[in-house]
A and B are shown apart, each in its own frame.
Chain A
Amino acid sequence: MKLLLENAHIEGIRYYEAYRKHGGYRSVEKALKMTPDEIVEEVKKSGLRGRGGAGFPTGMKWSFLAKPEGVPRHLVCNADESEPGTFKDRYLMEFLPHLLIEGLIVSSFALGSNATYIYIRGEYAWIPDILEQAIAEAKNNGWLGKNIQNSGFDCEIYVQRGGGAYICGEETALIESLEGKRGNPRIKPPFPAVQGLWMRPTVVNNVETLAAVVPIINMGGEEYGKLGVGRSTGTKLMSACGNLNKPGVYEIPFDLTVEEFIFSDEYCGGIPNGKRLKACIPGGSSVPILPANLLLKDAKGNTRQMNYESLAEGGFATGSMLGSGGFIVLDEDQCVVRHTMSLARFYNHESCGQCSPCREGTGWMYKILKSIEYGKGRMEDIDLLWDIQRRIEGNTICPLGDAAAWPVAAAIRHFRDEFEWHVLHPEEAQTRNYGLAHYADPREVVAG
């Protein structure tokens, strides 16, 4: 069942007329007849969890918003989608801009935000035009501006482009950037819900999260909460990439198995050129990489499903995370050392430089991975890498430190033999990849 992309195929759905004709803005009509607190209650009942990666319950986040007398409050939409492997918000904004605007209006009403901002990553340079067009259409039809649909509620939505910094996806860095500063994360507390944008109470939510408010209001929080598995309610947008026949954005039910997602024709259609599955990072580059044998089934032998709990089964020892839904697949020809090196370079490039464990540590991890990859590694470098990542994790103001540490830790945890092979066979490693080794296609392993 599709809740977000159901109408994505309809011609002209990017524009108001078609969008409205297919049921658009119904949730605003309904919401304006409710009280803001009732809307927050519906979102709580839905069990919706933040789709940006952290998975924090949205209704609870909303209920933390401070409401001091006479101080304006703001809703900020986090459209800084920068986690490698993730491109779902881009798809939503590009093809269903009105769905986001509709969700923003309802959420702004619920939170009392008269000026709502969409902070979009600077590289999505053509999307602000699409969003601004949708905003203008919504305004012309009385869904934005003063006294929306005679409700007495005023709301404006503004779009701001960032400047190309991954760190601005972290909510306090995003707020700093929105204030015209460097994207240095703030120390919490105070949390944005108390002192956020311009030190005013602020809620920052991901694009997909805010779009999901539309079906929640339309169908009711309780009904929405019935979809899914356990604490993974509703549906999820996945960005599938890497070695797949049909990479792209898919809306999935949470009870879908990982195997079905990768191999069925309805979704990713398997791996090109008959190659076998080696590994996968299921939730954006920050989450632990899993070898194929731990991906399709967890360590207890249960079939893994595409939801928060199932992907996390086994903790970091044998599990991973759903994260932002950036699903990166590696086939048998890929080199885990090289891939990890590329991610380490990314985090080193994107560290804001504020905390020394992250600023220095990400640089060291990249340098060491590079020397191993290029045949200059020493056996003790593998333990050194492990040691560095351990000293970054948990020792920084924001989660970028953890995000940089986890991929390295998981790569060593599950693929240590591949690192060792690089060290022991520096010349051979320049000419060929390690291949599948013992991380054989799990379907064969399981069958055997």
Chain B
Amino acid sequence: MSIQFSQEKLDKVKEIIARYPEGKQKSALIPLLHLAQEEFGGWLDVPVMDYVASLLHILPIEVYEVATFYTMFNMKPVGKYVLEVCRTGPCMLRGSDQIIDHIKTKLSIKEGETSADGLFTLKPAECLGACGYAPMMQLGKHFRENLTVEKVDTLLEELKANAKN
């Protein structure tokens, strides 16, 4: 896979950099890492981070140190769907432990692992800001809230079906 944003994404990169004053283009780093992770397979391989560094004219180490600091950036390959189930206090009070256990059993994976079919990664998360709608998980851009074991089952089936199409 050649590491190069599409023209459309490159235009977006330009627009993001323009939000910051001249010479402060490094500020665009986190937004660009989000773009890169979406574009290049859901995680940040070293060549991807090097590419982002080149776009911002900064050293690769400046990208690595940031990418490894923030939990949203995956440093190793992940499944097609990353199930980020919140387990912090307020979600725990409403049964997040059971949701996580259920997913583990159902997919035969441990926390942080990816299912054998490469579809699902279980990534327990700390508070995602949906405490009133707990338990919940982040799936891509959106939250799935007020989860129950049944809802999780339906969701997994849906995602499996989507993956086939």
Q: Tell me, in angstroms, the Cα distance from A281 to B73 when the chains sit together.
A: 31
Q: Tell me, in angstroms, the Cα distance from A81 to B126 when the chains sit together.
A: 13
Q: Is the CB of B93 within 8 A of A162?
A: no
Given contacts A86-B131, A163-B30, A339-B92, contact A181 B21 (CB under 8 A): no
Binary contact readout A316-353 vs B (1 if CB under 8 angstroms, 0 otherwise)? 00000000001011100010001100110110011010
A338-373: which have CB < 8 Å to B? 338-339, 342-343, 345-346, 349-350, 352
Given contacts A82-B129, A350-B126, contact A180 B29 (CB under 8 A): yes
Given contacts A247-B133, A328-B131, contact A180 B71 (CB under 8 A): no
Number of interface residues of A (CB under 8 A): 57
Number of interface residues of B (CB under 8 A): 42
Q: Is the CB of B88 within 8 A of A342?
A: yes
A338 proximity list for chain B (CB < 8 A): 92
Q: Is the CB of B132 within 8 A of A249?
A: yes
Stretch of A115-123, A216-224, A374-382, A396-404 at the chain-chain interface: A115-123
Q: Is the CB of B87 within 8 A of A342?
A: yes
Q: Is A426 an interface residue (CB 8 A)?
A: no
Binary contact readout B87-115 vs A (1 if CB under 8 angstroms, 0 otherwise)? 11110111000000000000000000000
B66 proximity list for chain A (CB < 8 A): 163, 180-182
Stretch of B4-12, B134-142, B150-158 at the chain-chain interface: B134-142
Q: Tell me, in angstroms, the Cα distance from A326 to B132 when the chains sit together.
A: 10
Which among B26, B33, B125, B132 has the highest number of chain A CB atoms within 10 Å?
B132
A161 to chain B, nearest CB (A): 6
A302 to chain B, nearest CB (A): 28
A198 proximity list for chain B (CB < 8 A): 21, 24
Q: Is the CB of A334 within 8 A of B93?
A: yes
Q: Is the CB of A285 within 8 A of B132?
A: no
A87 proximity list for chain B (CB < 8 A): 129-132
Closest to B18 in A: A158
Q: Is B65 an interface residue (CB 8 A)?
A: yes
Q: Is the CB of B65 within 8 A of A122?
A: no
B138 proximity list for chain A (CB < 8 A): 123, 125
Q: Is the CB of A163 within 8 A of B70?
A: yes
Q: Tell me, in angstroms, the Cα distance from A223 to B72 when the chains sit together.
A: 44
Q: Is the CB of B94 within 8 A of A285?
A: no
Q: Is B19 an interface residue (CB 8 A)?
A: yes
Given contacts A126-B141, A242-B94, A330-B93, contact A166 B127 (CB under 8 A): yes
Q: Is the CB of B141 within 8 A of A326?
A: no
A324 to chain B, nearest CB (A): 11
B30 proximity list for chain A (CB < 8 A): 122, 160-163, 177, 180
**Nearest 3 Cβ contacts at the A-B interface:** A163-B70, A180-B29, A164-B72
Known: A160-B30, A162-B70, A164-B73. 7 other contacts (CB 8 A): A87-B131, A163-B71, A181-B29, A181-B66, A198-B24, A241-B93, A346-B89
